[in-house]
Amino acid sequence: MAVTIKDVAKLANVAPSTVSRVIANSPRISEKTKQKVRKAMDKLGYHPNFIARSLASQSTQAIGLIMPSSTDVVFQNPFFPTVLRGISEGAHEKHYALHMTTGKTDEEIYNGVVQMVQGGRVDGVVLLYSKIEDKVLSFLQDGDYPFTVIGKPFRDVEEITHVDNDNFRAAKEATDYLIELGHTHIAFVGGDLNLVVTVERLLGYEKALRAADIELDNDYVIHEEFLKEGGQEAVRELLSLEKPPTALVVADDLMALGVLNTLDEMGISVPDDISIISFNNVLLSEMSRPPLTSVDINIFDLGYQAAKSLIQMVEDPKEPTKRIIIPHQIIKRHSCSVTAR
Amino acid sequence: MAVTIKDVAKLANVAPSTVSRVIANSPRISEKTKQKVRKAMDKLGYHPNFIARSLASQSTQAIGLIMPSSTDVVFQNPFFPTVLRGISEGAHEKHYALHMTTGKTDEEIYNGVVQMVQGGRVDGVVLLYSKIEDKVLSFLQDGDYPFTVIGKPFRDVEEITHVDNDNFRAAKEATDYLIELGHTHIAFVGGDLNLVVTVERLLGYEKALRAADIELDNDYVIHEEFLKEGGQEAVRELLSLEKPPTALVVADDLMALGVLNTLDEMGISVPDDISIISFNNVLLSEMSRPPLTSVDINIFDLGYQAAKSLIQMVEDPKEPTKRIIIPHQIIKRHSCSVTAR
DNA sequence: TTGTAGGCGTTATCAA
DNA sequence: TTGATAACGCCTACAA
């Protein structure tokens, strides 16, 4: 069995409690004993046992990550490695470890969360997605357990600490940009409507059109499960409308990549025949042909701030709920041009 | 404070140990008391505390994941979400949770691993990458702590349980395929030479050439940090050789995507002017233009088997070390054609 | 089949 | 400044 605090105590000729205090670097221990104890720890190769510590102190120094369904396409999105990096860095700075749950079905995920939370494995949790009517979220709220969500909560926005972009405004600006370029026939290609981010971006798009006195056209709004044949179909239909759009607002870079391919197959050129602006500014967006004009949403910061604010909450339960808005910025590349018509 | 085993015991009018046995579903408890206890648990909304259980049973039911440096480009590779899915599923089946360490520098990662392992946070660990001269690996070996590596260990291959593809053979087959198509000027575009997988694939490439009596040419082997300007440079140089290659073996889909772009910028057509075959068969490979011919390495299985075999090891310490080879398969798409010359 | 009691490795409260 | 000692919540001989 591994070396424990007692072994150290014995070797250093002090009480276990003293060793404990040395570990915590308590100021009420003489420098001399600290030295002595530290030497003993080194000699024995002692490492404190987190589990025991957690039990005694009722805190795990770990935060839980709740991912979307692993079978879901969004799971494949480069968004995740990047938020993960941000969360990881935020947690690391405060010496918190990371615990994860994933699952195939919503049921699996839910159970995983319940276990993790009730089982006391973590001190708090960050929800890496925000969808409407989420059982997991309700559970977290009911147990008033410390948690943050990345994205905008479907409801109780004021009561839930979250880190988000202003996706409504971002989408409006993206659409405005196309309008400025002279486009009036602008379509919206969105993803899963259960994700709050999708609806926010859709609303922003609509707002921009209305503000510019451009009529909304239902045929101009599609939601594709990108990569699926259905997605290609949708794009094809869009382009075969009587009055096909000259520009597309696409809710996600990865989707934009799919659209780009469909367009290419159809012999339609971007940006000559049609302009595209998308969101997230993921690595891929600069690797596509043409490189995508995309709204950078600072994914890393989203994660970083989520971790930071969660840790604040667990360390100070009186911490007020807050909403952190991460800035966005249009990165202009080569998928948009002045309208041809 | 949360409801504990004692509360349940009291309500059910039994001893705590009985409750404990009910949780473990011990066969030596009468069905009647089980019912009684279970009812009490439900009524109180009891959930066992993992931390306490871990301390008492000296097992955490959690496995640790060691990721490569988060600043590293490989971290962005779609490879990771996919292995993660596999690991997650393997762990889930056996009711294990997932714990993670990441870090920016090798030092950070190393410390994270030491803490996680020595601190007893996890029962075992899976190393998600394999590079040469890895301190982390040595540490794990020295402490003979249960662990599996995904990929081929740099050394002690016989003593380390790992899950890998036969990357040597895969690369040979990929190259053979190009040779069959009539190519004789075949270059290799590899990634980080510190990753074992890169060297394996390089060796397989060389083997194929030698077997076909094609002379090896140093100028035909480049290693690019894809996405970096340097990468583009390298490809440009390759193509401006006196005798430029007519086909490329690219060590990774994401890199191939970068190459594809550079080629496109140069006005070189794939597969008409040059053929490309790459590895991993990640989602992106079918989304590129042209869709990439790629060697599918069954990433999901890599993760799944790694988790399974690790859990076997932690549950039965006498389990022999083993090497699990996941099959691969060339997925032919449209980036390769018969040589033009 | 069930209960009692000690222990898992720490932290934290009280004394000293 | 340090040492006993009682938690923390559960598991597991050993007894009954």
> Which residue approaches C1 most closely, CA to C1'?
B29
Number of inter-chain CB pairs under 8 A, A vs B: 140
Question: What is the CA A11 to C1' D13 distance in angstroms?
Answer: 30
Instruction: Tell me which of B3-17, B122-136, B214-228 is least confident.
Output: B214-228
Asked whether A194 and A225 are in contact (CB, 8 A), the reply is no
Give the helix, strand, coil percentages of chain A, each rounded to 5. 45, 15, 40
The overall pTM is greater than 0.85: yes
Q: Residue B82 above 60 pLDDT?
A: yes
Q: Output the CA torsion sign for A166, A170, A171, A172.
A: positive
Percentage of chain B exceeding pLDDT 70: 97
Mean pLDDT of the residues in chain A: 93
Residue B287: which pLDDT band, with cuts at 50, 70 and 90? confident
Give the helix, strand, coil percentages of chain B, each rounded to 5. 45, 15, 40
**Domain B3-55, second-level architecture:** Orthogonal Bundle (1.10)
Question: What are residue B301's phi and psi, to 5 degrees?
Answer: -65, -35
pLDDT digits (tens, 9 = 90+) for B16-68: 999 999 999 998 889 999 999 999 999 999 999 999 999 999 999 999 999 99
For A185, left (φ over 0), alpha (ψ -120 to 50), or beta?
beta
**What pLDDT is stored for residue A226 in this prediction?**
55
Percentage of chain A exceeding pLDDT 70: 97
Common-topology check for domains A60-163+297-327 and A166-295: yes
What letter represents residue A243's amino acid? K
Diameter over CA atoms, chain B: 88
| Average pLDDT score over residue span B314-323 | 92
The residues that bridge with B98 in the sheet, in sequence order, are: A100, B63
**What pLDDT is stored for residue A195 in this prediction?**
93
Question: What is the CA A246 to C1' D16 distance in angstroms?
Answer: 85
**What pLDDT is stored for residue A70 in this prediction?**
85
**What pLDDT is stored for residue A185 in this prediction?**
97
> Quick check: A60 and B52 CB within 8 A?
no
**What pLDDT is stored for residue B265 in this prediction?**
87
Q: Residue A179 above 80 pLDDT?
A: yes
Q: How far apart are CA B325 and CA A146, in angstroms?
A: 43
Long-range interactions of B113-117: CB distance < 8 A, separation 24+: B113/B64, B113/B66, B113/B139, B113/B140, B114/A47, B114/B139, B115/A47, B115/A50, B115/A97, B116/A97, B116/B64, B117/B64, B117/B143, B117/B145
Instruction: Please give residues of chain B from 39 to 78 whose alpha-adjacent beta carbon (CB) lies under 7 Å from any atom of strand C.
Output: 52, 55-56, 58
The 3-class SS string of B19-44 reads: HHHHHCCCCCCCHHHHHHHHHHHHHH
A10 touches strand C (CB under 7 A): no
pLDDT digits (tens, 9 = 90+) for B136-189: 999 999 988 999 999 999 999 999 999 999 999 999 999 999 999 999 999 999
The residues that bridge with A330 in the sheet, in sequence order, are: A295
| Average pLDDT score over residue span A235-247 | 92
Q: Residue B340 above 70 pLDDT?
A: no
For A295, left (φ over 0), alpha (ψ -120 to 50), or beta?
beta
Q: Which of A339, A312, A329 is nearest to A244 (CA)?
A: A339
Q: Which bases on strand D have an atom closer than 7 Å to a protein beta carbon? A: 1-5, 7-13
Residue B121: which pLDDT band, with cuts at 50, 70 and 90? very high
The domain limits of chain B are 3-55, 60-163+297-327, 166-295
Instruction: Please give residues of chain A from 57 to 116 whose alpha-adjacent beta carbon (CB) lies under 7 Å from any atom of strand D.
Output: 58
**What pLDDT is stored for residue B322 in this prediction?**
94
**What pLDDT is stored for residue B73 in this prediction?**
77
Is cis: bond before B27, omega within 30 of 0?
no
Helix B50-57 and helix A50-57, axial crossing angle in degrees, nearest 10: 130
Percentage of chain B exceeding pLDDT 90: 82
* Residue to test with chain B: of A1, A92, A113, most B Cβ within 10 A: A92
Asked whether A137 and A153 are in contact (CB, 8 A), the reply is yes
Tokens of B29: 């408890």
What homologous superfamily is domain B60-163+297-327 in, according to CATH? Response regulator (3.40.50.2300)
The CATH number that domain B166-295 falls under is 3.40.50.2300
pLDDT digits (tens, 9 = 90+) for A59-87: 999 999 999 988 887 788 889 999 999 99
